[in-house]
Amino acid sequence: MINNLFKLTDCRDFYNQRQGLGIFLSRELDKTGSILKLIKSYLGIIMDKISFFTEKCKAHHLKVTPQRTAIFKILATVENHPSADEIFQEIQPKFPHISFDTVNRTLLTFAEIGIVDMAEGHGTPRRYDTNLAPHHHFFCIKCGRLTDFYCPEYDRLHIPEAIGEKFSITSKRVVLKGICDACRAETDSVPDSPGGKAQMKNQK
């Protein structure tokens, strides 16, 4: 039945070994009690994103090409904040002749017309965010992972008067920095050295 559902929506390639689906399933399964309802819900979310993408392109007179659509499909089905190189590596098997420059320029265009947002830089390659709802970020200083979180109190943060007078504010985002749960667990698992101080594992 699930296979038929994928065929009907022409979205099978969206979900093949996608990290986003696994995270979504584990988070939402208890709420629905039905894997089929869950898949349909996820399909609905993705199709809404595709409709949004198409409408934005048309509004800005941007041709909806197979390459642009494929790039957006990747963006729409990941939970992380990918870089242009990560998108390029994933799309190249399907479009062997696409260049990194094309992928990079496409992402910049998407950001310009409001299809995606640029995540703040932390000394790493520019990363892109398809979550356009008000949200904030936690940045792990060890592994570089950027995690979305929601906080109404942060959404309502007051803009200092001097800043508001000097600059035109278009959005607000709080960025918290620290060590993520995965890196903390890895650190905790390293045995203490003879001197009693835990040794940190090298991070790639």
Half-sphere exposure of residue 79: CA atoms within 13 angstroms, side-chain side: 17
Instruction: Enumerate domains of the chain plus CATH numbers.
Output: 1-130 (1.10.10.10), 133-189 (3.30.1490.190)
Amino acid 181: pLDDT: 92
Global pTM? 0.63
Q: Do 106 and 67 touch, CB atoms closer than 8 A?
A: yes
What is the average per-residue pLDDT within 40-49?
Answer: 71
**CA nearest neighbour of 142 among 105, 168, 108, 180:** 180
Amino acid 39: pLDDT: 66
Does position 192 have pLDDT exceeding 80, yes or no?
no
Phi, psi for residue 135 in degrees, rounded to 5: -160, 175
Rounded-to-integer distance, Cα 92 and Cα 87, Å: 8
Confidence of residue 15 (pLDDT cuts 50, 70, 90): very low
